[in-house]
Amino acid sequence: MTAPDAHDAAMGREHARTVRRVSELETLVQQLCADVHTIARRVGGAAEPEAKQVPGSWLLADDPVGAAAQLGELVEWLYRVYLRYQGTWLPTCWLWHADAVEELWWLRCAHADAYDPDRGSWQRAADWHDRQRPGVVRRLTKEIGSCELSLHLPGARRAVPPTPVPLAPAAAQIAASWIDSGRHAPAPVPTPDQLAAAERHDHDQYRSQR
């Protein structure tokens, strides 16, 4: 082989390596573009699901317009999903039970997360079917399964305000004692007024549950 032939062969090999490197680089760039697109879709799309699906506790709702929208979404989901399952039913007064609304709302949000295109998984879906949904059905059946709308009329068994927090005024005293003692001393001895308040609370609770 003459010198020019050797030179041409070397140039050919170098050209082949260059072509191969360019091809590999194009593949890498395409993969990076796909990864960036996926990340952008997840980050950019996070705002909308959060606005629609964040649990936003019903018990802490303070915006009438937002609360109405929240209940509207829940009613639609109950019809489309929850009530499709055997054994899932709701008494006519379910909206009058704030704890029931709270249970159903988080169950709806858990369902949305389980089937979310980006965050969802079959494991989450299985957990929703095997544990979360049956748990809510069981609790609602126990707590409001025997209730009806007429029981929420004035004077009826269910027409009672939320249970007050027992001895709430003592919170500051307990907090001061807890911190001042370095979290080691026993709690303060109950005062006569606190004992009387506790007795009234227990009596009222007993009457409301009869």
Residues of the chain with pLDDT under 70: 1-12, 15-55, 159, 207-210
3-state secondary structure the chain: CCHHHHHHHHHHHHHHHHHHHHHHHHHHHHHHHHHHHHHHHHHHHHHHHHHHHCCCCHHHCCCHHHHHHHHHHHHHHHHHCHHHCCCCCCCCCHHHCHHHHHHHHHHHHHHHHHCCCCCCCHHHHHHHHHHHHHHHHHHHHHHHCCCCHHHHCCCCCCCCCCCCCCCHHHHHHHHHHHHHCCCCCCCCCCCHHHHHHHHHHHHHHHHHCC
Average pLDDT, the chain: 81
pLDDT value of position 52: 46
pLDDT of 76: 96
